Amino acid sequence: MKIVCITCPRGCTIDIEKVGSDWQVSGNSCNKGREFAINEMTKPMRTICSTVKTTFPSAPVLPCRVSADIPKDKIFDVMKEINKVVVDKPLTRGDVIIKDVLGLGVDVISTSDLLAQI
């Protein structure tokens, strides 16, 4: 099976085959590529970057992301949670917006000091 690694802009095409209980991986340029390929076959993970609404007229949305990768099939569920939030405090970069979103063990965090600057 051929997959394209999305870990970095190099975008290596990786060959992965199951041999017995082991994965045979080739075409990757680093260890992260191997890890990505195996994850992709077993439990594909992705990140989400989005925005949350705010009550501040001059900055109606605040950029956010998940603090670590989440299962690919949970993307739209997490998006629903993100779209429920309205931020009314001047959160700064790294502040938690949603703690342990959907019990996935990751937080939704702010990625900008935008609200503290206006």
Partner 1 sequence: MIRTCDVLVIGGGPAGLAAAIAADKEGAKVILIERESRLGGILKQCIHDGFGLVRFGEKLSGPEYAERFIDEFKERGIEAKTLTFVTSVERIKTGFKATIVSREGIEVIETTSLILATGCRERTSKQVFIHGTRPSGVFTAGTAQHYTNLLGQLPTKRCVILGSGDIGLIMARRLTLEGAEVLGVYEVKSTPSGLTRNIHQCLNDFDIPLHLSHTVTRVFGQDRLTAVEVAKVDEKMKPIPGTEEIIECDALILSVGLIPENEIAETLDVQIDGRTKGPRCDATLMTTVPGIFSCGNALHVNDLVDYVSESGETAGKNAAHFALGMERTLVEIKPNENILYIVPQVLDIKAKNDAVVVYFRSKDVYNKATFRIIADNKIVFEKRYAFLRPPEMEKIVADFSKFNLREYSTITAEVEVDAK
**Does residue 46 contact residue 18 with C-beta atoms inside 8 Å?**
no
| CA 117/CA 50 separation, integer angstroms | 20
Taking the least distance from each CB to partner 1, the nearer of 20 and 57 is 57
Taking the least distance from each CB to partner 1, the nearer of 89 and 93 is 93
Candidates 2-10, 17-25, 97-105: pick the segment binding partner 1 (CB under 8 A).
2-10
Shortest CB 10 distance to partner 1, Å: 8
Instruction: Name residue 27's amino acid.
Output: G
Task: For the segment 33-92, give every residue that binds partner 1 (CB under 8 A).
Answer: 46-51, 53, 60-61, 63-65, 72, 75-76, 79, 83
Q: How many CB atoms lie within 10 A of CB 97?
A: 19
